[in-house]
Structure 1
Amino acid sequence: MTNKDIVQQALSELLATGSTDGLRSLLSDDFMHHRPDASTTKDEWLDAVQAALTPLAGMQVEIRHLLADGEHVVLHTRRRLPDGPEIAVVDIWRIDEGLIIEAWELIEPVAHAAANLTWWAPAAV
């Protein structure tokens, strides 16, 4: 199984079952999940994901890009939350010996994207 296949299987298991049970076996015991605001261990992250699955039931996920380079896999998705905003999510996964050992996640509400691009504006002359 390729690294890309491992990430695809992890997402598919999660969305198909609404449970983290199948995901647990794809994560290394040393797994760490990183976000700009916090990092969590395997058990902490799985507990948080499981808790989020009920309010997110029915979330639509569209895979825009699934790219692999060596031990890293990048997953870019657009997600429409039930009764909520559309968000763009970029997950970067690091695979080691067939298991996901590390993940980074960036989330941006699509409606806020333009406001977050102001730093691209050319400086006034």
Structure 2
Amino acid sequence: MTTENKSIVGRALAGLVDTGDVDTLASYLSEDFTHHRSDSTTSTKAQWLAAVRAALGPTAGMRVDILHLLADGDHVVVHSRRRLPDAEPEIVVVDVLRIADGFIAEVWEIIEPAGQATANGAWWAAAA
């Protein structure tokens, strides 16, 4: 199941990352899909797809480099770097996706501006 779930996410993201094809991604989402952000906000399938179209659609130009695609049971983790043309900051994103019945049912997204990684890690130094 882990391998199949990783394959589902890989196929869902392939067209999106390469060409901005949001419709292919949409076909892999469950009808009751929920997107979660680290600030505790959530989006429905329609709301999230609209945001993805705005950021990653063919005219938006956001570049996404997938660095890791890992799976364990019904969860798949995607680690990526994203940037807009001629814009800062580059962001580092970790998405945790839950697969149910062959569809992406939930995504938890954690975003950090790459340039703030050192400052955001300062709490580690305080513990030492």
- TM-score of the aligned structures, taking structure 1 as reference length: 0.88
User: How far, CA to CA, are the matches of 1:92 and 1:26 in structure 2?
Assistant: 15
RMSD (CA atoms)? 1.8
Tell me what 2:116 maps to: 112
1:61 pairs with 64, 74, 87, which one? 64
Query: Number of aligned pairs?
Result: 123
Segments of 4+ moved more than 6 angstroms: none
- How far residue 120 of structure 1 moved from its aligned partner, in angstroms, is 0.7
Aligned sequence identity (%): 59
Distance 1:70 1:119, change over 3 A: same
CA distance in 1, matches of 2:90, 2:5: 28
CA contact (8 A) 2:68 2:80 kept: yes
- Map of 2:33 onto structure 1: 31
Q: Distance in 2 between matches of 1:123 and 1:100?
A: 37
Q: Which runs of 5 or more structure 1 residues have no equivalent in the other structure?
A: none
Quote the residue 2:5 is aligned against.
Answer: 3
Answer 1 or 2: which has greater helix percent. 2
Task: Give the aligned residue type for 1:34.
Answer: H
- Separation (CA, whole Å) in 2 of partners of 1:86 and 1:17: 20
Q: Within the alignment, does 1:82 sit opposite 2:85 as a pair?
A: yes
1:22 to 15, 21, 24: 24
Larger displacement relative to structure 2 (88-97 or 45-54): 45-54
